[in-house]
């Protein structure tokens, strides 16, 4: 029934091979871009067909393993090239290929004229291929191949402008920090395989087999060790404290790369992995609380930094870190469906925001180049009043901003409200729930503030661009605007498939389609939580009240931004002058990068210099050079004995004979 699933990752791989091997000879940008976009679009079509087949099956049968061939076998270890098709992987396929197609189409216009055009599309196709392997692999090893693949591609794409030192440094930073997380993933995999095999004789890393034997895992203990290892991997990929600093620096890559990494692919990998392993995570209360608290702290912490950034892409980057924190809150409180729901809605509005920012940057670059200005095209302080020059970009950007702020009727409201409600009412963490909800609510307030700050500074007020440059400001071509329109529509309607029961009952009994769709995937985790957690009673009035609070929080954030950046734009400057230390700390990202340099980077460099100059030069080179000098010294002495002159040898023999005879005569 699902015999064609292997085509989904194959199409982007073919696109990568064609553009990577032949792109330099093809040269035509439209052909290269079309190959890349068409490859991912074909994957999207097959994904839609797969999804339609899956939903036609009964709930109990919505999990299919498709084995292509045996990959490796060693003793009790076995790994296949095989795909798992279930509601979760199907949803991820639709998000990755759908958003990926739109980003590829956008890139045709955005990357026009760039050196290495073919190389960019080759990397982009390889990125999508790796992500598709990650979400469809039916075992931990195949997932890890995709996991490493997206890490490699992120290095290539973030460092795309390799002639810039900052881009190269950002690529290396992303690569190294992700390797730290990946080590945790491997430790978790090895420990899980060893423990289950040694204890119960079940040697497997296949997800369906692991889920089938979930009842064999104890509560806590070794499960806590395993899940914490996996969580370290998730913090690296999904940019959570303390492994988040690579993601804002990823802005050095082209804007379509930022959209792909931040919206639909790499950063969601950690969330997806926890969701896929939910049957294991739910059995460790310690890990679940860790996930929830780290997520809440990340959501709030990143939001504070976003309030003071002036680079339009960097604001969105910290927004991504913060929104990923919400997803981890959901996973940590056992609201796995809500976490996946927010992953999906976030993909819609965050892709729209990044692509919209790219359209703004594209127009700003053109305008500044027109007047030969070297001002920063990404600095919002150089913008203002762009709405009248770029109405389509402004409209779509505003819709996505309303969605991320959590205004009712838009997709972000439904998923964010569900997470906050589950954080408050979940039965897992007792009084800690209030802390988690409080941090999430504060993050929501800051999100609404800094996102509308971005909108007001960029599109409203007086145009602050260099005089004369405003004449060159223009709306982007249709190939750039079209994906924005599609994503803006999804940012509105995307949330209605996951209507909370409270709202669904109010509008005529509309069910939560997403919850029903994903229920087979999280059935094991939900059953365990219901059986072992202490459930309290929460009234509908409390849920309505908290929903109202979240709306008020969003409106307060928007109002503050409006008052500060539209009504009285002088207030931010006065605040900065009144609290220069606080502003500097927030602007410099609380000096976390500097702290990491002090604790990790500089000591490693010092150790490296010591091993080089103190050990390598003195000890290793000293031994090598000493041996050489000793050999030369011995050789210098011996050479006097080996002169090649016969009379010297005869004289030496004569002396030797006299010595020997003398020894025997006089001993």
pLDDT of residue 1: 61
Average pLDDT (130-137) is 94
Whole-angstrom distance, CA of residue 327 vs CA of residue 412: 12
Looking at residue 324, its pLDDT comes to 95
Average pLDDT over residues 198-204: 91
Structure tokens given for 297: 């702290």
* CB-CB contact of 411 with 267 (8 Å): no
Residue 428 confidence (pLDDT): 85
User: Percent of the chain at pLDDT above 70?
Assistant: 98
Q: Strand, helix or coil at 585?
A: helix
Beta partners for residue 154, in sequence order: none
Numbers of helices and strands, H then E, in the chain: 28, 2
Cβ atoms of 99 and 124 within 8 Å: the answer is: no
- Identify the CA nearest to 79 among candidates 189, 180, 185, 225: 189
Q: Give the mean pLDDT of 604-617.
A: 85
Q: Is 475 exposed, middle or buried (0-12, 13-18, 19+ CB in 10 A)?
A: middle
* Position 77 pLDDT exceeds 90: no
- Given a cut of 70, whether residue 29 has pLDDT beyond it is yes
pLDDT at 539: 73
Interacting residues of 505 by C-beta distance below 8 A, sequence separation 6+:
none
Q: How high is the pLDDT of residue 536?
A: 61
Predicted local distance difference test score (pLDDT) of residue 262? 80
| Residue 153 vs residues 75, 85, 133, 317: alpha-carbon distances, Å | 33, 25, 13, 18
pLDDT digit string (tens) for 263-274?
Answer: 777 889 999 999
pLDDT tens string 392-423: 999 999 999 999 999 999 999 999 999 999 99
pTM metric for this prediction: 0.91
Q: Find the mean pLDDT for residues 548-573.
A: 93
When mean pLDDT is compared across 32-41, 361-370, 537-546, 625-634, the lowest value belongs to 537-546
Nearest to 468 by CA among 388, 394, 372, 379: 372
How many residues are there in the chain? 667
- pLDDT value at 636 more than 80: no
What was the pLDDT predicted at 667?
A: 67
The pLDDT score that the predictor gives to residue 73 is: 87
Per-residue pLDDT tens over the stretch 587-600: 998 999 899 988 98
Average pLDDT on 287-312 reads: 95
CB atoms within 10 A of CB 203: 15
User: 261 falls in which pLDDT band (50, 70, 90)?
Assistant: confident
Worst-scoring range by mean pLDDT, 30-44, 424-438, 534-548, 566-580? 534-548
Range 629-638 average pLDDT: 81
Q: With beta carbons less than 8 A apart as the criterion, state whether 109 and 29 touch.
A: no
- Give the pLDDT confidence of 470-490 residue by residue, as tens digits: 888 888 889 999 999 999 999
Using CA atoms, how far residue 41 sits from 37, 45, 94, 104, in Å, is: 6, 6, 11, 9
Which pLDDT does position 369 carry in this prediction?
Answer: 84
Report, as an integer, the average pLDDT of 458-478: 88
The predicted pLDDT at position 537 comes to: 63
pLDDT band at 468 (very low <50, low <70, confident <90, very high): confident
């Amino acid at each position: 029934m699902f015999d064609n699933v292997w085509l989904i990752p194959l199409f982007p791989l073919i696109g990568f091979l064609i553009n990577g091997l032949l792109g330099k000879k093809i040269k035509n940008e439209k052909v290269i871009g079309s190959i890349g976009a068409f490859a991912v679009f074909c994957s999207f079509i097959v994904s839609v067909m797969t999804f339609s087949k899956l939903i036609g099956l009964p709930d109990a049968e919505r999990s299919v393993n498709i084995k292509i061939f045996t990959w490796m076998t060693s003793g009790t270890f076995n790994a296949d090239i095989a795909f798992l098709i279930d509601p979760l992987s199907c949803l991820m396929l639709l998000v990755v290929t759908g958003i990926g197609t739109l980003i590829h189409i956008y890139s045709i216009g955005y990357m026009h004229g760039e050196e290495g055009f073919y190389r960019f599309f080759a990397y982009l196709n390889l990125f999508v291929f790796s992500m598709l392997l990650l979400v469809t692999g039916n075992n931990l090893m195949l997932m890890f191949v995709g996991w490493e693949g997206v890490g490699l591609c992120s290095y290539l794409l973030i460092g795309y402008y390799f002639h810039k030192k900052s881009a190269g440094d950002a690529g290396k930073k992303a690569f190294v920090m992700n390797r730290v997380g990946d080590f945790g993933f491997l430790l978790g995999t090895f420990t899980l395989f060893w423990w289950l095999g040694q204890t119960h004789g079940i040697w497997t890393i296949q997800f369906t087999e692991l889920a089938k034997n979930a009842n064999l895992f104890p509560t806590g203990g070794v499960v806590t060790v395993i899940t914490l290892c996996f969580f370290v991997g998730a913090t690296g990929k999904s940019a959570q404290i303390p492994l988040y600093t690579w993601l804002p620096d990823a802005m050095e890559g082209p804007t379509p790369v930022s959209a792909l990494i931040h919206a639909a692919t790499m950063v969601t990998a950690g969330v997806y992995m926890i969701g896929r392993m939910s049957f294991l995570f739910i059995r460790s209360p310690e890990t679940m609380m860790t996930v929830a608290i780290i997520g809440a702290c990340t959501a709030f912490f990143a939001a504070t930094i976003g309030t003071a950034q002036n680079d339009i892409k960097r604001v969105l980057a910290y927004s991504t870190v913060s929104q990923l924190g919400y997803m981890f809150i959901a996973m940590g409180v056992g609201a796995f469906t809500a976490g996946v729901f927010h992953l999906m809605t976030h993909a819609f509005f965050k892709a729209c925001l990044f692509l919209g920012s790219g359209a703004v940057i594209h127009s700003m670059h053109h305008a500044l180049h027109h007047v030969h200005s070297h001002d920063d095209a990404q600095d919002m302080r150089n913008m203002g009043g762009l709405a009248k020059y770029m109405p389509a970009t402004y409209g779509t950007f505003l819709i996505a901003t309303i969605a991320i702020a959590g205004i009712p009727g838009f997709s972000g409201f439904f998923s964010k409200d569900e997470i906050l409600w589950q954080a408050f009412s979940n039965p897992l963490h007792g009084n800690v729930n209030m802390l988690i909800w409080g941090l999430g609510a504060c993050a929501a307030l800051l999100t609404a503030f800094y996102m509308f700050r971005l909108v007001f500074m960029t599109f409203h007020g007086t145009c602050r661009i260099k005089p004369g440059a405003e004449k060159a400001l223009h709306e982007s071509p249709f190939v750039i605007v079209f994906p924005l329109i599609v994503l803006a529509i999804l940012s509105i309607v995307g949330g209605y498939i996951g209507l909370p029961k409270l709202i669904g009952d109010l509008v005529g009994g509309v069910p939560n389609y997403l919850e029903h769709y994903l229920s087979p995937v999280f059935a094991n985790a939900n059953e365990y939580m219901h059986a072992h957690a202490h459930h309290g009673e929460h009234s509908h009035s409390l849920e309505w009240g908290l929903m109202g609070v979240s709306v008020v929080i969003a409106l307060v954030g928007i109002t503050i931004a409006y008052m500060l950046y539209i009504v009285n734009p002088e207030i931010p400057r006065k605040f900065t002058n009144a609290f220069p230390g606080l502003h500097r700390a927030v602007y410099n990202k609380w000096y976390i990068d500097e702290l990491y340099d002090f604790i990790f980077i500089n000591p490693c460099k010092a150790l490296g210099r010591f091993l080089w100059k103190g050990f390598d030069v003195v000890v290793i080179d000293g031994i090598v050079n000493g041996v050489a000098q000793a050999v030369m010294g011995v050789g210098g002495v011996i050479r006097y004995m080996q002169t090649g002159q016969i009379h010297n040898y005869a004289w030496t023999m004569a002396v030797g004979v006299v010595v020997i005879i003398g020894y025997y005569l006089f001993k």
